Amino acid sequence: MSKQNELVPPPLKNDCFSLPADTHWTPVSEALALLKERLHVCVGTETVPVFAALDRVLAEDVVAQRSNPPQPNSAVDGYGLRHFNIIEGPQTVPLVDGRSAAGAPFSGVLPGGHAVRILTGATLPEGVDTVILQEDVTTDGKAIAFHGPLKKGSNTRKAGEDVASGGVILTKGRRITPADLALAAATGVSQLPVFERLRVAVVSTGDELAEPGQKARADQIFDANRPMLLAMIAQFGFEAIDMGRSPDDREALTAYLNEAAGRADMILTSGGASAGDEDHMSALLNETGSMTFWRLAIKPGRPLALGLWAGTPVFGLPGNPVAAKVCTLVFAKPAMDALGGAGWQEPVSLKVPAAFTKSKKAGRREYLRARLRDGRAEVFLSEGSGRISGLSWAEGLVELPDAAMEIHEGSEVAFYPYSAFGL
Tell me, what CATH number does 415's domain have? Answer: 2.40.340.10
Is 206 found in the same domain as 309?
yes
Establish if 186 belongs to a structural domain: no
Length of the chain: 423
Domain that includes residue 128, residue range: 73-157
* Residue 15 pLDDT grade (very low, low, confident, very high; cuts 50, 70, 90): low
Coil, strand or helix at 177: coil
Q: How confident is the model at residue 277 (pLDDT cuts 50, 70, 90)?
A: very low
**Model confidence at 1, in pLDDT bands (50, 70, 90)?**
very low
pLDDT at residue 219, as a whole number: 86
Q: What is the CATH number of the domain that holds 85?
A: 2.170.190.11
Mean of the per-residue pLDDT values for the chain? Answer: 90
Q: What is the pLDDT of residue 276?
A: 46
What mean pLDDT comes out for the span 95-115? Answer: 95
Cβ atoms of 390 and 411 within 8 Å: the answer is: no
CA distances from 220 to 187, 202, 272 (A): 57, 20, 16
327 and 201 housed in the same domain:
yes
Q: Are residues 386 and 329 in the same domain?
A: no
* Residue at a domain's end among 137, 157, 177: 157
In this structure, the answer to whether residues 271 and 329 fall within a common structural domain is: yes
Predicted confidence band of residue 284 (pLDDT cuts 50, 70, 90):
confident
For residues 200 and 335, membership in a common domain is answered with yes
- Specify the pLDDT at position 168: 97
Burial class, 52, CB count within 10 angstroms (exposed 0-12 / middle 13-18 / buried 19+): exposed
Q: What is the CATH number of the domain that holds 299?
A: 3.40.980.10
Mean pLDDT of 195-217: 88
Asked if 280 and 335 sit in the same domain, the reply is yes
Q: Is residue 277 situated within a structural domain?
A: yes
Q: Is pLDDT of 273 > 70?
A: no
Residue 341 pLDDT > 80, yes or no? yes
User: Within a domain: residue 169?
Assistant: no
Q: In Å, how far from its chain's centre is CA 78?
A: 42
* Residue 19 confidence class, pLDDT cut points 50, 70, 90: low
For every residue of 251-283, DSSP letters joined together read: HHHHHHHHHHHHH-SEEEEES--SSSTT-HHHH
Q: Answer yes or no: do 365 and 320 share one domain.
A: no
Contact, 60 vs 54, CB < 8 A?
A: no
CA 128, 132, 136: angle at the middle one, nearest 5? 160
Q: Please determine, for residue 306, whether its predicted confidence score (pLDDT) is greater than 90.
A: no
In a domain, 13, yes or no: no
* 178 lies in some domain: no
Share of the chain above pLDDT 90, in %: 69
Write the pLDDT tens digit of every residue in 216-245: 888 888 888 999 999 999 999 999 999 998
Give the pLDDT confidence of 125-172 residue by residue, as tens digits. Answer: 999 999 999 999 999 999 999 999 999 999 999 999 999 999 999 999
Please indicate, yes or no, if residue 244 is contained in any of the structural domains: yes
Do 330 and 367 lie in one domain? The reply is no
Of the candidates 365, 328, 271, the residue with the CA atom closest to the CA atom of residue 25? 365
Last residue of a domain, one of 340, 372, 403: 340
Integer Cα distance of 251 and 237 in angstroms: 32
> Is 93 found in the same domain as 38?
no
Chain segment 395-410, per-residue pLDDT in tens: 999 999 999 999 999 9
pLDDT at 385: 73
Same domain, 385 and 265: no
Burial label for 311, CB within 10 Å (0-12, 13-18, 19+), is: middle
Q: Is the same domain home to 206 and 307?
A: yes
> Does pLDDT of 9 surpass 90?
no
Mean pLDDT in residue range 97-106 = 95
Alpha helix locations (H) across 293-388? 321-327, 333-340
Read off the pLDDT band of 382 (50, 70, 90).
confident
* Domain annotation covers residue 297: yes
226 and 303, same domain (yes or no): yes
The Cα–Cα gap between 42 and 100 comes to 53
Asked if the structure places residue 137 within a domain, the reply is: yes
Q: Which of 286, 310, 340 is the last residue of a domain?
A: 340
Pick the residue with more confidence: 197 or 223?
197
What total number of domains does the chain contain?
Answer: 3
